Structure 1
Amino acid sequence: MTRHRGGYALLSAIVALIVALSAAIYAGAAADAGTAGRDTLAAPYAPLDPAEPASTGDWVGTWAAAPTGGEPGTEALGTAGRTVRNIVHTSVGGAGARVTLSNLYGTHPLTVTHATLAVAAADDSPAAAAGTLRRLTFGGATTVVVPPGEQAVSDAAAVPLPADSDVLVSVYTPTSAGPVTYHPHARQTSYAADGQYTEDVTGTPYTGTSPYWRYVTALDVLGDEADGTVVALGDSITDGISSAEGANRRWPDVLADRLRTADRAGADVPRYGVVNEGISGNQVLADGRGGGPSGLRRLDRDVLGRAGVKVVVIDLGVNDILRNQRLADPDAVVAGLRTLVERAHARGIRVVGTTLTPFGGHRGYSAAREAVRQRINEAIRDGGVFDAVVDFDRTLRDPYDPRSLRPEYDSGDRLHPSDLGYRKLAEAIDLEKLKGSVPATL
């Protein structure tokens, strides 16, 4: 962007003053700024390539990842002096976008002085597509300070984001906030560079790679391509821990593909973005080491707190069985699932539930644990838990040994599906079951 040299010094001084004041304000108010909803697109701050801003439409989720803890090895230095470039994948597109950054597991304030958003030039590439890079602002400032345990949502950036595309979210932090809030099982390679390179479009400085998503927990889009969001709340089977890396073959990804394809073909299906809030090791009832807070504890954060949620698909319960040193109580698990449903209904959100998939042959298998799984599945199939049921068990089980996964649907560990298995799970979801709503409880 061209500037007149005579006014450069004065302009620089004014900008520096605004940034400093904004940082001080955000140190105490980042949480409020992070949760405030906006219905229109703000003008992008010093756009590198301006886009015509959209002012109408609905905010919906196009991508999300649940934070699970602090990244090991980052306790002292965090990512101080480095730029993290996350690669995330859209389920629906829009005319503008906003990003959520989290310092949930940090022990000090997270100071972000530079952040950008861009469409990737190619799949899995740290390079940006021409004309798509935008600086992110927070309350109009390029600097935001996020207190420990909090998050911040950026202003809306006017940039068209296509559906089914990789997006670059780049964050530079000059100082350490302690442990980096992250999602460990991304199944996607992201990048890092030494120094401040958020506005680099070549990708050349990004010589470091990471199997994690750092800081970024949600990407929302504004537009008329979707009418709402469906959230997948689950464990490693939803997280897609055994799916092909960089290929977006988790079952929520395939569900998003199906919804887009059916909509473009003119079918009467819900027009929803799909966000994946799976955490490997997650349980309904108990917090788990490495498995994040329980489904009951994280519902507000990971489901009710997402943009435009209409439906949640819940696939939880296997880890309550496998990770419980004692035999799990099936009635307690079912009661926990019913509580999740009641809380979602209180917000007018429809709830689709899945049966629990087989794990015969897995190291945690026992006849007693299999009996608990069958009891839970029986309660789910009876129709007294969810608004609608998808029978993941029946979809994946071996017809000759129903306690186990069908061989071609097994990743090899007798618990997690193969890519074909994940596709079958998504195909088992009748898109009609995602329709409808429930009245919110006052």
Structure 2
Amino acid sequence: MPRRQGYALLIALVAGTAALAAAVAFGTSFMAARRTAPLGPDAHAASRNQAAPVNSTGSWVATWTAAPVSAEPDSVHGYPGRTIRNIVHTSIGGDAARITLSNLFGAAPLVVDRAAVNTRRVTFRGLPHVTVAPGGQVVSDPVVVPVAPDAELVVSLRTVDASGPVTQHPNTHQTSYLADEHGTWSTTRWRYLTAVDVHNDAAPGAIVVIGDSLTAGTGSTTDADHRWPDVLSDRLRHRFGVANVGIAGNRVLRDSPLSSRGVKKLGGSSATHRFERDVLSVAGAKTVVISLGINDVQQAPQEADARRVTAGLRALADRARDRGLRVVGATLTPFQGYPSWTPGRNAVRLAVNKEIRSGRVFDSFVDFDRAVRDPYAPNRILPAYDSGDHLHFNDAGYRTLGHAVDLDEVDGTPRSDMF
């Protein structure tokens, strides 16, 4: 549907007075469940991961996620007195929502004195404010607000004190906003917000997609929601939550190095190190799609041994299977013409793909390489899919990746014959 997002959703929500009145008892049961929940950060993680029903039917399922990447440069004091409006695109809908705020890269407590999902105020253990410890995260109370699938959601936060650096996800390909009494500024960063979960009576669960810039959508059109996980969500008709935890520059085995100012560069923590936080704790997780490895092959320092890359991928798959999740992997796409390409690095890519296609790494795989390569120059991206740098895709390329996924392979049933 054309620009399904926008602020029209806000008008519809404000007009939903009758729906709100009918939901009062529902909201009360939510709050009772929160009051009896155990305290502490581990309880927050457990509640998100288990997707436990809060009444007789329905479960919590992630409709949107963003992996925390780094401390925002030049944000040592944070944004005291300003309102951060994160604009996010939903996958699945629900009758209530909760949010996760992260202060992973903060050096001081983060105090949020007001939070809202669209126009509905959000509380934290019954209070309108919350303090997030440095390195910590919090999950809000449920807020009874109808969340539409395949739509924009506005999650607003107001911070009080000078508290930084700001935990961010940059290069979002989505316009968000920062506002104060002097005006409003646009941004392409998501700040502090790392998840929106919805309560849904019929959702089978969430598909968590961990990847690099090709999953994050580098090269796609801003505000068009043309990342390949968005395409997948459309094909699934928004029956599943689709949680995109792609980070541009991410690798399987190595963390991003630190810059001279001590701020992490693009890439964030390796998939090996962030897998528990960014994948296994996602609410309602049922299937994991792993689309990683190209940066291990082509970024300095490069992995010259394909066996190290495939061993890392296999270890991620094993961790997911241990939690009862199905694991789908993706082959590594061509990059000849990109400055880092060499015949030797391409040989490593091909060796990784051979092992993925063997069936010895994942429960099943999607052949992204075959879907986008030029049949006359198979080490290159087909020109019609190339964003221009010979590594990343344009909208047509991401649409092709999204359509390459076999929907039957993401139904969440683990294989019983793996090793």
- Shorter chain as normaliser: what TM range? 0.7 to 0.9
2:278 aligns to what? 302
Could you list the per-position Cα deviations for residues 243-301 of structure 1 after superposition, in whole angstroms to 9, with x for gaps in the alignment? Answer: 1000100000000000017xxxxxxxxx4110100000000000013201111111101
What amino acid does structure 2 have at the position aligned with 1:153?
A: V
Could you list the per-position Cα deviations for residues 387-437 of structure 1 after superposition, in whole angstroms to 9, with x for gaps in the alignment? Answer: 001000000000110000000000000000110000000100010011242
What amino acid does structure 2 have at the position aligned with 1:307?
A: A
* 1:397-412 → structure 2 map (5 Å cutoff): 397-412=373-388
1:311 aligns to what? 287
User: 1:326/1:60 Cα in 2 relative to 1: closer, same or farther (>3 Å)?
Assistant: closer
Query: Which structure's CA Rg is the greater one?
Result: 1
What is the alpha-carbon distance in structure 1 between the residues aligned to residue 342 and residue 41 of structure 2? Answer: 46
- State how many pairs are aligned: 368
User: 1:439/1:155 Cα in 2 relative to 1: closer, same or farther (>3 Å)?
Assistant: farther
Using the TM superposition, give the Cα deviation of residue 327 of structure 1 relative to its aligned residue in structure 2, in angstroms.
4.9
1:228 aligns to what? 205
Residue 239 (1) aligns with residue 216 (2): yes
Using the TM superposition, give the Cα deviation of residue 302 of structure 1 relative to its aligned residue in structure 2, in angstroms.
0.7
TM-score normalised per structure 2: 0.85
1:31 aligns to what? 41
Residue 135 (1) aligns with residue 103 (2): no
- The one of 389, 395, 402 aligned to 1:419: 395
User: 1:439/1:394 Cα in 2 relative to 1: closer, same or farther (>3 Å)?
Assistant: closer
1:110 aligns to what? 110
1:337 aligns to what? 313
The worse-fitting range, judged by mean Cα deviation, of 285-294 and 416-425 is 285-294
What is the alpha-carbon distance in structure 1 between the residues aligned to residue 111 and residue 121 of structure 2? Answer: 16
Query: Per the alignment, in what secondary structure is the counterpart of residue 64 of structure 2?
Result: strand
* 1:31-430 → structure 2 map (5 Å cutoff): 31-32=41-42, 34-35=44-45, 37=47, 56-75=57-76, 77-118=77-118, 133-194=119-180, 207-260=184-237, 271-288=239-256, 289-430=265-406
- Aligned-residue CA RMSD in angstroms? 1.8
2:27 aligns to what? none
What is the alpha-carbon distance in structure 1 between the residues aligned to residue 282 and residue 151 of structure 2? Answer: 20
User: 1:326/1:164 Cα in 2 relative to 1: closer, same or farther (>3 Å)?
Assistant: closer
Percentage of identical aligned residues: 51
Using the TM superposition, give the Cα deviation of residue 56 of structure 1 relative to its aligned residue in structure 2, in angstroms.
3.4
Q: Do the aligned residues in 1 keep the contact of 2:326 with 2:415 (CA within 8 Å)?
A: no
TM-score normalised per structure 1: 0.80
What is the alpha-carbon distance in structure 1 between the residues aligned to residue 184 and residue 56 of structure 2? Answer: 38
User: 1:209/1:304 Cα in 2 relative to 1: closer, same or farther (>3 Å)?
Assistant: same
User: 1:336/1:33 Cα in 2 relative to 1: closer, same or farther (>3 Å)?
Assistant: closer
Q: Do the aligned residues in 2 keep the contact of 1:136 with 1:157 (CA within 8 Å)?
A: yes
Using the TM superposition, give the Cα deviation of residue 30 of structure 1 relative to its aligned residue in structure 2, in angstroms.
5.9
What is the alpha-carbon distance in structure 2 between the residues aligned to residue 424 and residue 225 of structure 1? Answer: 29
Q: Do the aligned residues in 1 keep the contact of 2:53 with 2:59 (CA within 8 Å)?
A: no
Could you list the per-position Cα deviations for residues 362-396 of structure 1 after superposition, in whole angstroms to 9, with x for gaps in the alignment? Answer: 00100000100000000001110000010000000
Query: Per the alignment, in what secondary structure is the counterpart of residue 66 of structure 1?
Result: coil
Query: Per the alignment, in what secondary structure is the counterpart of residue 245 of structure 2?
Result: strand
Query: Per the alignment, in what secondary structure is the counterpart of residue 178 of structure 1?
Result: coil
Could you list the per-position Cα deviations for residues 37-62 of structure 1 after superposition, in whole angstroms to 9, with x for gaps in the alignment? Answer: 28566xxxxxxxxxxxx873111110
Using the TM superposition, give the Cα deviation of residue 227 of structure 1 relative to its aligned residue in structure 2, in angstroms.
1.6
Using the TM superposition, give the Cα deviation of residue 225 of structure 1 relative to its aligned residue in structure 2, in angstroms.
4.3
What is the alpha-carbon distance in structure 1 between the residues aligned to residue 74 and residue 180 of structure 2? Answer: 17
The worse-fitting range, judged by mean Cα deviation, of 219-228 and 141-150 is 219-228
What is the alpha-carbon distance in structure 2 between the residues aligned to residue 317 and residue 327 of structure 1? Answer: 10
What amino acid does structure 2 have at the position aligned with 1:400?
A: Y
Structure 2 gap segments, 5+ residues each: 1-38, 257-264
What amino acid does structure 2 have at the position aligned with 1:172?
A: R
Could you list the per-position Cα deviations for residues 165-199 of structure 1 after superposition, in whole angstroms to 9, with x for gaps in the alignment? Answer: 1000000111122110010011011011115xxxx
What is the alpha-carbon distance in structure 1 between the residues aligned to residue 303 and residue 205 of structure 2? Answer: 39
